[in-house]
């Protein structure tokens, strides 16, 4: 079984070296997708000889970085990709937990959850992020027949062949709103494992209009709605429910 750790980065020069050094303690095969960084992050990455790097010439989005990582892994014969962020909010110490779940060979997607098993010492997320995550997670579960506890955690293990089948193309932060409906429609085997809830810097932002919580919530619903419509119209996903007061879908 070939496993790749994929880390999307954008302007993370203050964190990237330390994060990579920690990750290498648990797995040596690492891909960093530099999403058009302008703060010197790319130069730091190019100086390292212990990682693989993809450079985007401009910022293409968090989702596109993940999609490119899946494609990279696919054409090079990897079986699994573990994705994690580079802002010190995902602990490399949890990588062995994902590897253990992968080894069981029961799942196609293993999603980290910061709310599955709360721990003493967990950080408190900014209110808008906590509320949006809770409400979107509830909507996702109701519409898709899932039972997840954290719709937005980027710390995940993905079976590469399963990601290829989903044909993902959502480039931005709404990437999970495409992922979950396609996972449900395709009948992929899904589980969650607990990861620590960490927020080092509550002032970090998404950028542009997404910094407005109401706009961000509406954007997530729009992408989710389009995906549910797509799944319903294809008649492939009998477990996906019409979204009723959010958008029109099939009967």
Place of tokens 């010492």: 121
Query: Regarding the domain delimited by 3-205, which CATH topology (the fold level of the hierarchy) does it fall under?
Result: Spore Coat Polysaccharide Biosynthesis Protein SpsA; Chain A (3.90.550)
pLDDT digits over 205-226, tens only? Answer: 788 888 899 999 999 999 999 9
Asked if pLDDT for residue 104 goes beyond 60, the answer is yes
Mean of the per-residue pLDDT values for the chain?
Answer: 91
Asked if pLDDT for residue 6 goes beyond 60, the answer is yes
Task: Provide the pLDDT for residue 247.
Answer: 44
Asked if pLDDT for residue 163 goes beyond 60, the answer is yes
Query: What 3-state class would DSSP assign to 119?
Result: coil
Task: Provide the pLDDT for residue 200.
Answer: 66
Which token pair is 82?
Answer: 């573990």
More confident call, 122 vs 45: 45
Structural contact between residues 151 and 129, judged by C-beta atoms closer than 8 angstroms = no
Task: Provide the pLDDT for residue 203.
Answer: 67
Q: Compute the average pLDDT of residues 168-177.
A: 98
pLDDT digits over 227-237, tens only? Answer: 999 888 775 55
| Least confident window among 17-21, 113-117, 142-146 | 113-117
Long-range CB pairs of 121-125, under 8 A, 24+ apart, other chains included: 122/196, 122/197, 122/198, 123/197, 123/198, 123/199, 123/200, 124/199, 125/197, 125/199, 125/202
Task: Provide the pLDDT for residue 250.
Answer: 40
CA distance linking residue 244 with residue 205, whole number of Å: 31
Q: Compute the average pLDDT of residues 107-123.
A: 86
Largest CA distance in the chain: 56
Task: Provide the pLDDT for residue 236.
Answer: 55
As a whole-number percent, the residues of the chain with pLDDT over 70 amount to 90
């Amino acid at each position: 079984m070939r496993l790749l750790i994929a880390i999307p980065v954008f302007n993370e020069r203050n964190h990237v070296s330390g994060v990579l050094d920690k990750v290498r303690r648990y797995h040596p095969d690492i891909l960093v997708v530099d999403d058009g960084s302008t703060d010197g992050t790319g130069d730091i990455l190019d100086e390292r000889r212990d990682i693989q790097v993809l450079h985007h010439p401009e910022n293409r989005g968090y989702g596109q970085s993940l999609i490119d990582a899946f494609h990279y892994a696919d054409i090079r014969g990897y079986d699994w990709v573990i994705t994690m962020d580079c802002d010190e909010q995902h602990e490399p110490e949890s990588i062995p937990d994902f590897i253990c779940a992968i080894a069981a060979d029961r799942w196609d997607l293993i999603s980290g959850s910061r709310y599955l098993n709360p721990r003493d010492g967990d950080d408190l997320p900014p209110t808008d992020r906590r509320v949006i995550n809770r409400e979107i997670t509830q909507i996702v579960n109701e519409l898709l027949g899932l039972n997840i506890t954290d719709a937005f955690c980027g710390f995940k293990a993905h079976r590469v062949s399963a990601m290829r089948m989903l044909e993902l193309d959502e480039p931005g932060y709404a990437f999970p709103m495409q992922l979950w409906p396609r996972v449900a429609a395709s009948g992929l085997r899904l589980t969650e494992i607990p990861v620590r809830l960490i927020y080092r810097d509550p002032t970090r932002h998404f950028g542009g209009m997404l910094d407005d919580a109401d706009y961000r919530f509406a954007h997530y619903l729009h992408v989710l709605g389009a995906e549910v419509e797509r799944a319903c119209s294809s008649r492939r996903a009998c477990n996906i429910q019409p979204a009723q007061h959010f958008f029109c879908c099939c009967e």
